[in-house]
Every structure is written in C-alpha cells, then in structure tokens.
Amino acid sequence: FSLIFMLIFRPVLSSKFLPGRGRNAIYAALYFFPIFALIHGVLGGIIYYSFPYIIIILSLVSCAAHYAFKLDQSIKSLFRTSVTDFRNLVIILGHWALHAYGIIAVTELKRPTLHLSLIALVPLPALFYIVTARFTDPRLIQMREGRSM
C-alpha cells in the first residue's frame, strides 16, 4: 500500500513543486523502497531487542535532567518540591513508570518473586540524585581544584 502511495503521490507532488522532475521521482521511489525495507528489517530487530534498555537509560537521564533544572539543589527543596508540587509529582511518577516498565521488559518476569521485587528499586535513581546533588555544586568543585593547585 505504501509502495502505491510512493509511486503515485510522490511524482504528483514532485511535478507540482519541482516542475520537470516527476519522472525522476518515480525512479527515486523505486530505488528507495527496497533500501527502506532493508533498513527497516535490520534496525527493527535491533530496536526490538534493545528497547527495554533504551527505556531504562532514557528514564534515568530524563529524571536527572528534571532535577537538574531546579534552581535550588538542596536536599530539602528537591524533596519538598517533588512531593508537594503536583506537576513535579506527575513527572516523577511518569519517570518511575517508565523505569518499572523497562525493568519488567528486561526481566520478562521469568522469576516473578525476584523480578517483581526489583520494582522496589524504581525510586532509587531519584533518591540518589536528591542525596548526591550537593556534591555536584560547581563552586565547590572549583574551590577544591583551586586549593589543590
């Protein structure tokens, strides 16, 4: 079905917007369709097997980015705004849901008692960021580097 659309609509659009190139668009479509099918076949399998790992990594990175954009990086402020601000709570719960989905997808729940207990680890990245944010203050790092020189 997409081959038909590619062979019919592409030349029409090409001849309308680029006069005199409608025939070349048909040839390009005939060359590109098998290439697209090959790329889809190869990369589709790679994405299928790596998707759970991609989800876990992206949930960790987006959770860290969410906290990094906060101006007040104190433990008290990060924890308070995470719990009391409804928008932040929804964002964090979304990160946790993605992280839990990634863990379930990786483990495939082959051993349900062990693998479902891993869901308890889902909040740890957020808690780790909150606890260790004070160690990443650029002013403190610059002062330490200045002292050691």
Find out whether 31 and 6 touch, Cβ atoms under 8 Å: no
Find out whether 26 and 11 touch, Cβ atoms under 8 Å: yes
Find out whether 130 and 66 touch, Cβ atoms under 8 Å: no
Q: Residue 148: is its pLDDT beyond 60? A: no
Find the mean pLDDT for residues 107-125: 93
> Within a 10 A sphere around the Cβ of 67, how many other Cβ atoms?
21
SS3 state of residue 34? helix
**pTM of this structure:** 0.69
What are the structure tokens assigned to 82, written together? 């995470």
pLDDT of residue 43: 87
Q: For all residues of the chain together, what is the average pLDDT?
A: 85
> Within a 10 A sphere around the Cβ of 78, how many other Cβ atoms?
21
Q: Residue 118: is its pLDDT beyond 90? A: yes
pLDDT of residue 96: 96
Summarize pLDDT for 21-47 with one digit per residue, the tens.
Answer: 656 666 776 777 788 888 888 888 888
pLDDT of residue 21: 61
Find the mean pLDDT for residues 50-63: 95
Summarize pLDDT for 61-102 with one digit per residue, the tens.
Answer: 999 999 999 988 889 999 999 999 999 999 999 999 999 999
What are the structure tokens assigned to 16, written together? 């309308």
Name the residue with tokens 């997409």. 2
What are the structure tokens assigned to 88, written together? 């932040």
